[in-house]
Structure 1
Amino acid sequence: MNNRSTAIRNLPRLAALVAGLLSAAGALAQGAPWVGETLAGGPCTGQPQGYGPYDYTQRFSYSHELMLVERSHFTQKVELLQGGSTGKIQGDLDYTLRAWPNHHRALNSISRYGLEFHRKQRSEPPYSPVECYFQRALNYSPKDATATLLYAIYLHKTGHRDKALEAYETAHELAPENPQVMYNMSLLLVDLGQLERAKSYATKLYANGFPLPGLKNQLQQKGAW
């Protein structure tokens, strides 16, 4: 078979490859827009898209791109909120989350930073409200159960119980057997007085050897265990 015949036979595969590359390029070009509202009711805004965006649930396919961001901006020092890498802590977190909107560890760090600012332990706020980073992440990767759980925990800790329950229930729909989702959602259910529902999840958790006793202790204190 000559080279011309081989090239003709490969045309469909080449066309599919080009289409896939164009689709991926189009997704990157769309970026990850700032969406939603702050907990105070204002529009979510932030810095424009720079590097990326990349989906953290697909990080093993983009290990080089992840390494570039983490090596410069999301160092251990930044993750632990001990200091910035290229400037201020919140600046490095902002860069990381603009490049990787649903970066789980960076979302956890920005959440902790926001809580510390809320408790007057930090003098400077995050570059964008914490809830805006989460809404941007979930708009970009709506099936990410871990990011959804982290958002629910943040909402719970800041006293927004109704929104927290909605986020927990979404996380539970995405990952119905995830023990961390059931455990944290049940803690909120206890706070809301929904003891029977909390107990049903707790029974399943502890029957499967879940190690943290906090939920059981709270149910015992309420006379529901």
Structure 2
Amino acid sequence: MKYRLLALAAILCAAAGSASARHVCGELTGREYDYRTGPEYMLNLVNDRHFTEDVEQGIRGASGALAPDIEYTLRVFPNHKRALATALRMAARYPSGVMPEAKLPIECYFERAVRVFPDDSVTWLMYARFQYMKGHEAQATTMLTKALELSPDDPTINYNLGLAYAKQKKYEQALPYAQKAYSLQFPLPGLKQMLVKAGKWVEPPPPPPADEKAEAPVAAAAAASAASAPPAEQAAATPVASTPPVKP
């Protein structure tokens, strides 16, 4: 019963950062470390004692149940991306939304990550993947859009955002993100296959040749010169436009 109640309460976490989410997922201590920049000695300590290889693979806890070690890791480093990836796998293993002997619903690990570090695109990507797994495509799309604002050239984010739109049959919106992901050498073919099957795939424009890239500064200077010319000269000037490949 306790687990069922917690799983129901996890629904409140969908609005990340809301008062209800904080109530369910717990207040912050202000002593959380950033996985990207936190002290190496602390990260090594947490990894050695709590986030062992067995914990990361979801096999067993370091000294008992699995959940307490994952929760401790994410309490100290809320945006620990490897621990969040493990939590994502646990979410698939436990449809109830709560791991045995856990204090929090699995969704709270992601909610706390974006609440503490909203500038980390990986936390938004991970939370979006959790929402996507639960069938909440609209919420996943919103979170992926936030992630893309933070890291517009990340191929994984572009791919996942394109996939979220494609799953909603919004193929025209999915296409530019798919094109960008593949132009950035994203390896998985699933999104492209979906768009091909729907008759919506279009190959992205090829990148400009190397000599055109070298001429780009000259073209930019000419355009700037034309823009600053008197009106009569501007009318005669032909600006040079460059359209880079659209990336999903």
Indicate the TM-score class for this superposition, using the shorter chain for normalisation: 0.7 to 0.9
Question: Compared with structure 1, are the counterparts of its residues 189 and 118 closer, same or farther at alpha carbon in structure 2 (3 Å cutoff)?
Answer: same
Match of 2:192 in 1: 216
- Which deviations, in whole Å up to 9, do the C-alpha atoms of 1:189-211 show, x marking residues without a partner? 10111101111122223234332
Letter in 2 for 1:38: A
How far apart are the structure 2 equivalents of 1:53 and 1:89?
Answer: 21
How far apart are the structure 2 equivalents of 1:202 and 1:158?
Answer: 22
Match of 1:174 in 2: 150
Match of 1:147 in 2: 123
Identical columns (%): 34
- Give the superposition deviation at 1:50: 7.9
Corresponding residue pairs, total: 186
Q: 1:134 aligns with which of 105, 110, 115?
A: 110
Question: Compared with structure 1, are the counterparts of its residues 56 and 175 closer, same or farther at alpha carbon in structure 2 (3 Å cutoff)?
Answer: same
Indicate whether 1:165 and 2:141 are aligned: yes
Match of 1:156 in 2: 132
| TM-score for both structures, normalised by structure 2 | 0.68
| TM-score for both structures, normalised by structure 1 | 0.75
- Structure 1: any 5+ residue segments left out of the alignment? 1-36
Say if 2:25 and 2:111, in contact at 8 Å, map to a contact too.
Answer: no
Letter in 2 for 1:55: D
Alignment of 1:45-194 (within 5 A): 45-46=24-25, 52-59=31-38, 62-118=39-95, 124=100, 126-194=102-170
Match of 1:12 in 2: none
Match of 2:10 in 1: 38
Say if 1:49 and 1:99, in contact at 8 Å, map to a contact too.
Answer: no
How far apart are the structure 1 equivalents of 2:172 and 2:53?
Answer: 41
Give structure 1 regions of 4+ aligned residues with deviation exceeding 4 angstroms. 40-44, 46-52
Question: Compared with structure 1, are the counterparts of its residues 203 and 47 closer, same or farther at alpha carbon in structure 2 (3 Å cutoff)?
Answer: closer
Letter in 1 for 2:176: S
**Equivalent position SS for 1:45:** helix
Letter in 1 for 2:37: Q
Say if 1:195 and 1:219, in contact at 8 Å, map to a contact too.
Answer: yes
Alignment of 1:16-35 (within 5 A): none
How far apart are the structure 2 equivalents of 1:144 and 1:68?
Answer: 23
How far apart are the structure 1 equivalents of 2:144 and 2:73?
Answer: 25
Question: Compared with structure 1, are the counterparts of its residues 154 and 128 closer, same or farther at alpha carbon in structure 2 (3 Å cutoff)?
Answer: same
Match of 2:223 in 1: none
- Give the superposition deviation at 1:40: 5.1
Question: Compared with structure 1, are the counterparts of its residues 123 and 135 closer, same or farther at alpha carbon in structure 2 (3 Å cutoff)?
Answer: closer
Measured on the aligned residues, the alpha-carbon RMSD in Å equals 2.4
Larger radius of gyration: 2
Question: Compared with structure 1, are the counterparts of its residues 48 and 201 closer, same or farther at alpha carbon in structure 2 (3 Å cutoff)?
Answer: closer
Question: Compared with structure 1, are the counterparts of its residues 123 and 53 closer, same or farther at alpha carbon in structure 2 (3 Å cutoff)?
Answer: closer
- Which deviations, in whole Å up to 9, do the C-alpha atoms of 1:5-58 show, x marking residues without a partner? xxxxxxxxxxxxxxxxxxxxxxxxxxxxxxxx7325764535777894211121
How far apart are the structure 2 equivalents of 1:74 and 1:207?
Answer: 35
How far apart are the structure 2 equivalents of 1:169 and 1:123?
Answer: 29
How far apart are the structure 1 equivalents of 2:146 and 2:122?
Answer: 11
- Structure 2: any 5+ residue segments left out of the alignment? 1-8, 14-19, 202-248
Question: Compared with structure 1, are the counterparts of its residues 205 and 170 closer, same or farther at alpha carbon in structure 2 (3 Å cutoff)?
Answer: same
